[in-house]
Chain A
């Protein structure tokens, strides 16, 4: 329970500056987007109010929309289910085995700061056909695994996975950094006490690190979910959503609709959907973690 009793104006002084800027620049635009979603508007000329028709079409009669939602959730799922556990393992290993971890953690973190323009180029040279010097296919061929080679970015069923791998790679170090910070903040006396009780190594990790890392793991989960929903630049650079929408995600679809197809109203409807999706996800994530919290505390 919070203890500080403060007067109203003090609360206002603490909260209002932030809240006002945030509401004006994030909340108002969201509301505007909801409204634009009700319009038949190319973004430039006259707008026509058409009620919920955009939403109706989006949800029931758009062959691109649901697959894009599916891909977005797939990306989020893989990122939370594969990337975060790996990052956690690495973070635990680093904290246990490395005496001066700064350099290591910092190095892992570096790909995050590279621009997607370069990341896209780099991975294209990895995914290219062997004849164009594609590294992955060349390695497969030299191992005698010709049948495993693919056009990684252009086969509609594979392309999205190829892009997901890149996203996972790029943000791995980021999550390692966050979780490593978390582990460092676990007081060492807890481990020492556990050692006396005969719990060390894996056992200590199971009973001490994991429960105590839950709060920071939550931050990682939220961040990776946000990242997945907003993943847009990487897709645009690597495939442009193609071939034939095979790698389209919600954010790229929204962008394409608003600015290329010039259906701003429809694009806004998609944006509104994204907001609702985020809301639902936030509630679910919070719910899950408050359960975890209760279990461990």
Chain B
């Protein structure tokens, strides 16, 4: 018993020393890459392989931050297949996957960027959203890499422009989608309405469906980009073509331009006609989409990435779901101009310790990406051209329809947050979300936008 205080003292000091030792111990190995344990495994396998194989090939660990954590997502399987194939061909390379959900990946990357700890491969969004990272000089240019193995040729024309700054390509996209309207054929029949060819008809269809007790449209407006995406499509029409936001940035227009207020009014017409479900702003993306998927709403405006999920839903039994292009508004605009959604893209850290190997892997990955996705029936809305007979591979009628729409695309606009700086974008998103809960004069909305833009301009 007498030794007890002594033991406590020892215990306490051992603990503090232990912690200190722990951290300093890691200090050394962390410089190699990541934490302490990687360090030790690396040395182990080095000594092992030293006897058997050529010692010139050093062990390489590439960290691949990605947003495909869900095992039921085709991309999850694709990612693991390609990675294990590559690791089999290159035994000295180990790809460490850091799979996170989208929101958390954004926060993590921003935090990492601020401390210059960007992972070897990461995911960014196109255009304005990736610009701050490019400006901070965090990414390696991919100009040379994309020429290897004909990778550049697999990408659709013009798509890489959204990831190019000052003639340097900094990221390669995982998808390219357009905004379309999905509709439930049976519900349209029950409501006695036809596919609208103008926005005015669309508002009318909404009213008729509503009168028959059918929920006209579904939206997941808790994720405020969904409403903004629809609003921007209206603006794309009222502006008579793409480029409104660019004109604002270039100082040729302001948000108080008639095209903008007209779009706000049209959007409010749709909301006031009762197009969207009650409590829309508390539905997140999935809950909103689910209304359409379960046959509880007749129309759904969304990017073509939703095709895969809708294809397999109860609403699409007996090929019951069709798609149409977003119509003209007040006779303005061209339905063949779409809201474009170039996908999230893979970028490589400039400070990667194994830059060469990382680039080689990414090249291999993207060459194989479309093939694997085609096999997994996830090849709608890829950024790369896909060789293969979709019909024969068992893609549904609706999927074929969507594919055909892609052929009509004659340009269009990007989403608001891909064009404007984040500060203005957040103000915009909240301003549009507000239209769902309270009717606001278009002039006021325009003013809100203009104020936010001027405040956030560099």
> How far is A25 from B225 in the complex, measured between Cα atoms in Å?
36
Q: Which A residues from 16 to 60 make CB contacts under 8 A with B?
A: 17, 21, 42-46
CB-based nearest B residue for A153 = B282
Judge whether A223 is part of the interface by a CB distance below 8 angstroms: no
**Residues B138 and A243 in contact, CB atoms below 8 Å apart:** no
Q: Which residue of B lies closest to A238 (CB)?
A: B282
Cβ B423 vs Cβ A262 within 8 A: yes
Which of A44, A127, A131 has the most C-beta atoms of chain B within 10 angstroms of its own C-beta?
Answer: A44
Knowing A43-B113, A129-B277, the reply to whether A240 touches B223 (Cβ < 8 A) is: yes
Whether the Cβ atoms of B16 and A17 lie closer than 8 Å is yes
The answer to whether B278 touches A44 (Cβ under 8 A) is no
A21 to B12, CA, bound (A): 14
- Which residue of chain A has the shortest Cβ distance to B278 in the bound complex? A129
Stretch touching chain A among B82-90, B250-258, B429-437: B429-437
Cβ of B423 to closest chain A Cβ, rounded Å: 5
Does A86 reach chain B (CB closer than 8 Å)?
no
Contact A261 B113 (CB under 8 A): no
A131-B278, A239-B222, A262-B423 known; A244 and B15 CB under 8 Å?
Answer: no
Q: Say whether A45 contacts B281, CB under 8 Å.
A: no
Which of B9, B13, B221, B422 has the most CB atoms of chain A within a 10 A radius of its CB?
B422
In contact, B107 and A259 (Cβ under 8 angstroms) = yes
Q: Which residues of A contact B107 (CB under 8 A)?
A: 259
CB distance from A192 to the nearest CB of B (A): 36
Residues in A whose Cβ lies below 8 Å from that of B281: 153-154, 239, 242-243
Task: For B280, give its contact among A124, A154, A256, A264 (CB under 8 Å).
Answer: A154
Q: A43-B114, A239-B222, A259-B110 are in contact. Are A13 and B9 (CB under 8 A)?
A: yes
Chain B residues in 8 Å Cβ range of A118: none
- Complex Cα–Cα for A281 and B430 (A): 31
Which residue of A13, A159, A239, A264 contacts B114 across the interface (Cβ within 8 Å)? A264
Query: Which of these, B15, B136, B279, B425, contacts A129 with CB under 8 Å?
Result: B279
Q: In the complex, what residue of chain B is closest to A134 when comparing beta carbons?
A: B279
Let me know if A244 and B431 touch, CB within 8 A: yes
B188 in the interface (beta carbon within 8 A): no
- Whole-angstrom CA separation of A44 from B278 in the bound complex: 40
* Min CB gap A83→B, angstroms: 24
Q: With A154-B279, A261-B423 given, is the CB distance from A244 to B223 under 8 Å? A: no
Q: Are A245 and B430 in contact (CB under 8 A)?
A: yes
Set B19, B135, B221: member contacting A45, Cβ < 8 A: B135
Task: Answer whether residue A186 sits at the interface, using C-beta atoms and an 8 A cutoff.
Answer: no
Residues of A126-173 contacting chain B, CB below 8 A: 127-129, 131-132, 151-156, 159
Contact between A263 and B114, CB atoms less than 8 A apart? no
A interface residue count range (under 10 / 10 to 19 / 20 to 34 / 35 or more): 35 or more
> CA–CA, A260 to B223, complex, Å?
13
Q: Is A156 within 8 A of B437, CB to CB?
A: yes
Query: Which of B421, B425, B430 makes the CB contact (< 8 A) with A244?
Result: B430
Contact check, B15 vs A17: say whether CB atoms are below 8 A apart: yes
A154 to chain B, nearest CB (A): 5
Q: Which residues in window 122-166 of B have CB below 8 A to A?
A: 132-133, 135-136, 138
Pair B426/A256 contact, Cβ less than 8 Å: yes
A159 to B224, CA, bound (A): 16
Q: Could you give, for residues 400-435 of chain B, a 1 whenever the CB lies within 8 Å of some chain A CB and a 0 otherwise?
A: 000000000000000000000111011000110110
Q: Shortest Cβ distance from A135 into chain B, in angstroms? A: 14
Q: Which B residue's beta carbon lies closest to that of A131?
A: B278
B299 to chain A, nearest CB (A): 17
Q: Quick one: closest A residue to B132, CB to CB?
A: A44
With A43-B113, A154-B437, A259-B110 in contact, is A128–B279 under 8 Å at CB? yes
Contact between chains at B437 and A243 (CB < 8 Å): yes
* Closest beta carbon of chain A to B117's beta carbon, Å: 12
Q: Are B422 and A261 in contact (CB under 8 A)?
A: yes
Residue of A nearest to B291 (CB): A132
Chain A residues with Cβ below 8 Å from B224 are 240, 242
Residue B106 is within 8 A (CB to CB) of chain A in the complex: yes
CA distance A73 to B430 in the complex (A): 23
B contact residues around A42 at 8 Å (CB):
132, 422
Chain A nearest CB, measured from B102 CB (Å): 13
CA distance A131 to B283 in the complex (A): 14
Q: Is B438 an interface residue (CB 8 A)?
A: yes
B2-21 vs A, Cβ < 8 Å mask (1 yes, 0 no): 00000001001101100100
Q: Is the CB of B436 within 8 A of A262?
A: no
* Given contacts A45-B132, A240-B223, A242-B224, A154 and B282 within 8 Å (CB-CB): yes
Minimum CB distance partner of B223 in chain A: A240
Docked Cα-Cα span, A151 to B437, in Å, equals 10
- B296's closest neighbor in chain A, by CB? A132
B433 contacts A244, C-beta separation under 8 Å: yes
Contact with A along B424-454 (1 / 0, CB 8 A): 0110001101101110000000000000000
Q: Is the CB–CB distance between B437 and A45 below 8 Å?
A: no
Measured CA separation A155–B279 after assembly (Å): 8
Residue-wise interface mask of A (217-261) relative to B, using a CB-CB cutoff of 8 A (1 in contact, 0 not): 000000000000000000000111011111000000000100111
A234–B135 Cα distance when bound, in Å, is 35
Asked if A242 contacts B433 (CB within 8 A), the reply is yes
By a CB distance below 8 angstroms, the chain A residues around B287 are: 124
Give CA–CA (A259, B421) in the complex, Å. 13
Shortest beta-carbon distance from A47 to chain B in Å = 10
29 A-B contacts, Cβ less than 8 Å apart?
Answer: A17-B15, A17-B16, A44-B133, A44-B136, A45-B136, A46-B136, A127-B282, A128-B279, A129-B278, A129-B279, A151-B282, A153-B279, A154-B281, A154-B282, A159-B282, A239-B222, A240-B222, A240-B284, A242-B222, A243-B433, A243-B437, A244-B433, A244-B438, A261-B422, A261-B425, A262-B132, A262-B422, A262-B423, A264-B114
Residues of B participating in the A interface, judged by any CB pair closer than 8 Å: 9, 12-13, 15-16, 19, 106-107, 110, 113-114, 132-133, 135-136, 138, 221-224, 277-282, 284, 287, 421-423, 425-426, 430-431, 433-434, 436-438
Inter-chain pairs besides A131-B278, A151-B279, 9 sampled, C-beta below 8 Å: A13-B13, A129-B279, A132-B279, A152-B279, A154-B280, A259-B107, A261-B422, A262-B422, A263-B423
Binding site for B on A (CB under 8 A): 13, 17, 21, 42-46, 124, 127-129, 131-132, 151-156, 159, 238-240, 242-246, 256, 259-264
Q: Across chains A and B, which 6 residue pairs bring their CB atoms closest together, nearest first?
A: A244-B434, A153-B282, A243-B281, A129-B278, A151-B279, A262-B422
